[in-house]
Structure 1
Amino acid sequence: MQSTAVTDVIFDFCGVLLDWQTRACLTGHYLEPVVEAICAPDDPHGFFRYEDRMDAGEDFADIYPDVVREQGEDIAAIFRYYIEHYGDALPRILPGMEQLLADLKRHGYGVWGLTNWSHETFHIAFDKFPQLERLLDGTVVSGVEKMHKPNADIYELALHRFGLTAERCVFFDDTARNVVGANEVGIHGVLFDNALQARQALTSLGVRL
């Protein structure tokens, strides 16, 4: 990768550009033990599984009956509240990321988005943080395309749509399997931790900031 000049940097959204906190949406509205269970990695209520289906392109209206049948009316009502108040789960742009995007653009690099996100709620990201829409040159959204990281097709779609060469791209994601997916199509994937780490990774790949 270091022998091929980087021209473009692609970013995941939640956990990379945006702080995504399901707890921030639910705390104070529901009993804490229920919120704890929903936000746990092994959530018995399956919120992240249902949300993953939305990210892959399914509509909330089609998924909701499954939530009612599998989890019961009370939990299903919480899931509905979560989706209807999704902006509350996005409290901020992660520290340093807006500046990183601005610095990349200032130095002539392409800056792009590639996210697993429902077509029904993605607009909230740009409604709440319009500066991201201004900074990004374009974004591919899984729920719109009905494709899903880490499958190769969504990375290849982004490359084609944006007119990019895989070997000249760096991709940041906070999920390891999505980094692997990028690597498998020839993009240099980097597991994201924070803005400073991202800057250091880009510098090591010859990106001038």
Structure 2
Amino acid sequence: MTSPQPITDVVFDFCGVLIDWQCRAALDGHYPAELVDRIAADDDPYGFFRYEDHMDSGMDFADVYPRVVAEQGQDIARIFEYYIAHYGDALPRLIPGAEDLLRDLTQAGVRVWGLTNWSGETFHYAFERFPQLDALLGGTVVSGIEKLRKPNRDIYELAQARFGLDPARTVFFDDTQKNVEGAADAGWHARRFTDAQQARRDLAALGVQLGEH
């Protein structure tokens, strides 16, 4: 079944959708393997992901760092400081097929955009490492810069206004379900991203025929 209105815009999350983000890639070889394993685990006892969330929401590293020191101690805080300073190393590659997907959408006349929960202090690494993303995307809304974040409705509405999106003609891809639901609540076509081929199938079901790579 196709969308009642032709799709004109596709909005992409970054980490896990366009860029393969790996916390441990910035730490491997610099700290003991067992410690890196704990930091990179989903239940990280040192709270790196939680502190990153603070930065994604707009807090400066200078304000987050004292919290890390107070809660985790100076040694762990120094590792977090190293991690943030070498954040580019945590972005080892693009997600397979992501660049081709952006190019094919652009060639098909569909506009492509970014919408990411990311610190305003570290986002520059994304485009420095992958300048093709900067070239292909028409613009990107970054939570840490705007001090708004997914899945709250206001960040989708900001992107909508800034990019001139018609919700009924817009598709959003994110690998986190609550962010998909946030976009759907804003009236967008929202799909959970698993890989580029599935995204192509999701787009095809909405009437955007790109083929497979």
> Aligned partners of 1:144 and 1:123: how far apart in 2?
11
Equivalent residue, structure 2, for 1:115: 116
With 29-38 and 132-141 compared, the bigger mean Cα shift is at: 29-38
Q: Which runs of 5+ in 1 are unaligned?
A: none
The correspondence of residues 27-106 of structure 1 with structure 2, limited to 5 A, is 27-106=28-107
Query: What amino acid is aligned across from residue 60 of structure 2 in structure 1?
Result: D
> Aligned partners of 1:22 and 1:49: how far apart in 2?
13
Q: Deviations over 1:119-163 (max 9, x none)?
A: 001011011110000000110000010000000000000000001
Equivalent residue, structure 1, for 2:148: 147
List, as ranges, runs of 4+ consecutive aligned residues in structure 1 with deviation greater than 4 Å: none
Aligned-pair CA distance for 1:208: 2.4
- TM-score between both structures, scaled by the size of structure 2: 0.97
Q: Kindly, what percent of the aligned residue pairs are identical?
A: 64
The correspondence of residues 184-203 of structure 1 with structure 2, limited to 5 A, is 184-203=185-204
> Aligned partners of 2:134 and 2:147: how far apart in 1?
21
Q: Deviations over 1:39-66 (max 9, x none)?
A: 1111110000000000000000000000
The correspondence of residues 7-26 of structure 1 with structure 2, limited to 5 A, is 7-26=8-27
- TM-score between both structures, scaled by the size of structure 1: 0.99
Residue 76 of structure 2 aligns to a residue whose secondary structure is: helix
Residue 159 of structure 1 aligns to a residue whose secondary structure is: helix
> Aligned partners of 2:41 and 2:190: how far apart in 1?
27
Q: Deviations over 1:150-206 (max 9, x none)?
A: 000000000000011111110000101000000001011111011111111111110
> Aligned partners of 1:179 and 1:196: how far apart in 2?
18
> Aligned partners of 1:159 and 1:207: how far apart in 2?
20
Residue 10 of structure 1 aligns to a residue whose secondary structure is: strand
Query: What amino acid is aligned across from residue 32 of structure 1 in structure 2?
Result: A
